[in-house]
Structure 1
Amino acid sequence: MSENLIIGFVTMAVCLAIQCIVVGALLDVLVFLEQRGMIRQTLIGMTFLLVALMLIMLAGNIIQITIWAGLFYSYGEFKEFATAFYHSVVNFATLGYGDIVMSEKRRLLGALEAANGVLMFALTTGFLYTILSGVLERYWDEQIGQKSESKG
């Protein structure tokens, strides 16, 4: 069990580092775009921005799912990588179908991946919420400011 805990925590740390790198890179890109006035306060511009952010964050999650699947596959838990990947997606998303299970020896790793998935989805949600609230606040301020100027 201690081997699984160590391997699981190391894998979780790698996954957290990946998601932090993705978030940091996105912040750098957002600052770069903002400094050049390239972020448009329009419905289409904001929709494009948020969809792009979500897809990039999802790509970070897919990388992590692939790492977990590779771990399961390398331990011989699954004969095909595709099965390991499917199982990993189910774990990461905390669905827990139970249609495919790992051996009793490595079952703890699946639970650790589920915990990892919850943390990564929380990080993704928090980041997207922060960006969205900032965008909405700016949009609100601009709309209210325009109405105040037209009345004044």
Structure 2
Amino acid sequence: MGAALLVSGLMAVGTVIIHMLGLMVLMGFMRARSDHLHPRRSAFRQSVFILMVVLGLFLIHAIEMLAYAALYYGLGEFLTFEEALYFSVSTFTTLGMGDIYIESQWRLVAAIEGFNGFLLIGWSTAFLVTVIGRLRAIEFDWLDRLGDEDD
């Protein structure tokens, strides 16, 4: 159990670091692109911007799930990487299908992966809600200024 707890802790810390770095890259992308978002004429650009953020979040989570899959495969828990990846995705997303499972001392790693995935997905959701909220705030600010000009 000690080894599983240590591995779980290292994986949790590692995936949090991956997530934080990934969000930093996304924020850099957003800063670089924010000058091109003009509320009056860029509904399409805003949509593409949000799509790119969502795809970026998806990529970050994919890297995290791949890291867990590589760990399971490296530990010899699964015969193929595809099985390890399937198990990791269903565990990370807390679906826990139950058709593939770990029988050995590493079950604690899977349990911690589920909790870790739950937290990281929540973090991504909060990030996305904030991004969309800020886009709406920019749009509303522009509409307010437009209304003040009409007065």
Structure 1-normalised TM-score?
A: 0.93
CA positional deviation for 1:147? 2.4
1:1-152 matches, cutoff 5 A: 1-34=1-34, 37-41=35-39, 42-150=42-150, 152=151
Deviation sequence 1:34-86 (CA, Å, 0-9, x none): 3xx22242321111111100101110100010000011111111000000000
SS across alignment from 1:77: coil
Moved more, 113-122 or 40-49: 40-49
SS across alignment from 1:99: coil
C-alpha distance in 2 between matches for 1:25 and 1:74: 29
CA positional deviation for 1:27? 1.3
- The code of the aligned residue for 1:39 comes to L
C-alpha distance in 1 between matches for 2:68 and 2:4: 13
C-alpha distance in 2 between matches for 1:39 and 1:143: 14
C-alpha distance in 1 between matches for 2:38 and 2:16: 31
C-alpha distance in 1 between matches for 2:12 and 2:47: 31
C-alpha distance in 1 between matches for 2:33 and 2:95: 37
CA positional deviation for 1:103? 1.2
SS across alignment from 2:134: helix
- The code of the aligned residue for 1:64 comes to E
Any stretches of 5+ residues in structure 2 without a counterpart?
A: none
C-alpha distance in 2 between matches for 1:40 and 1:4: 51
C-alpha distance in 2 between matches for 1:83 and 1:33: 39
Number of paired residues? Answer: 149
CA positional deviation for 1:104? 3.6
Moved more, 72-81 or 41-50: 41-50
Deviating above 4 A after TM superposition, structure 1's stretches of 4 or more consecutive aligned residues are: none
- The code of the aligned residue for 1:120 comes to L
